[in-house]
Amino acid sequence: MKNYHSIIILFVAICNAPFAAELPDGDEIALRINARDEGEAVSRLLTMEMTDSRGKQRIRETKGFRKYYSDEKRTVIFYLAPKNIKDTAFLTYDYPEADKDDDQWLYLPAMRKVRRISASDRGDYFLGTDFTYEDIKLETRISIDDYQRKTIGESEVDGFHCLLLESVPVNDDIAAELGYSKVEQCVDDTIWMVRQSKMWDMQGRPLKTIHSKDIRQVQDIWTQHELEVSNHKTGHHTRFTFSEVRYNEGVNDRLFTQNALKRGL
């Protein structure tokens, strides 16, 4: 029996030795994710389906544009349907400097005014979805400065091998701002995209899971076509379905202005 235990320990040690040595560390994974080609600009249709715990569903049709200006990212989303939210629009300027807050604006058609939104709203839920403003802003990227991260192992999602990346907010204030005490992401290390993210709330309880599906290449750029998020506390679900994705075409600079928010598409 003693020999049997020794063999197991040796086997585990043999397996773990190269494993620990080969896995990239958390920061390297984060850098690789953020270095992935996202296209300088993109336009796409986005259907948002929100379903509450009783099965009541709400559907929004939107059109979104994103463009990089050097390291500064500008994103705008226009709501096309249904009637009660049509013409609402959201614009954000995301700056590369860690100490510079993003600038965000929201156009509400009932007020016919563009309103400035404080960047610390980023942990708030985005217009009735299970995504926060920060989730929407980051898209497929991850925040370098908000978290300390480490690689905790390997796993598999939808049949794809991935590295498990654990991220913890750098301090309590950031955690409170983001609404997460911990994030665990399953990162596909062949295309450097996050296939699944799990978030824990401030009390350390499971909060939500984001699942990226239908990842395929568009104009040679790996692109997620479906994002599903389940809120474990409320039973609410949100599904984002992307279509008509086009990179580096028809994304006019004037879309990323307050005037464009008012005029709509």
Q: Does 171 bind another protein (CB under 8 A)?
A: no
Is the Cβ of residue 8 or residue 59 nearer to another protein in the bound state?
Answer: 59
Per-residue binding letters, 15-54, with another protein (x by CB under 8 A)? -----------------------------------x-x--
Is the Cβ of residue 119 or residue 162 nearer to another protein in the bound state?
Answer: 119
9-17, 84-92, 185-193, 214-222 -> range binding another protein (CB under 8 A): 84-92
Is the Cβ of residue 16 or residue 53 nearer to another protein in the bound state?
Answer: 53
d(C-alpha 224, C-alpha 194), whole Å: 10
Is the Cβ of residue 192 or residue 240 nearer to another protein in the bound state?
Answer: 240
Residue recorded with tokens 């700056």: 95
- Count Cβ atoms within 10 A of the Cβ of residue 48 and give its class: 0-12 exposed, 13-18 middle, 19 or more buried: buried
178 forms beta bridges with: none
Q: Does 72 bind another protein (CB under 8 A)?
A: no
Degrees, nearest 5: CA angle 24-27-31: 95
Question: Which DSSP letter does residue 42 get?
Answer: E
Q: Does 138 bind another protein (CB under 8 A)?
A: no
Q: Does 227 bind another protein (CB under 8 A)?
A: no
**Taking CB under 8 A as the criterion, which residues in 112-131 touch another protein?**
112-113, 115-121, 124-125, 127-129
Of the candidates 111, 52, 121, the one whose C-alpha atom is nearest the C-alpha of residue 87 is 111
Q: What is the CA radius of gyration of the chain?
A: 20
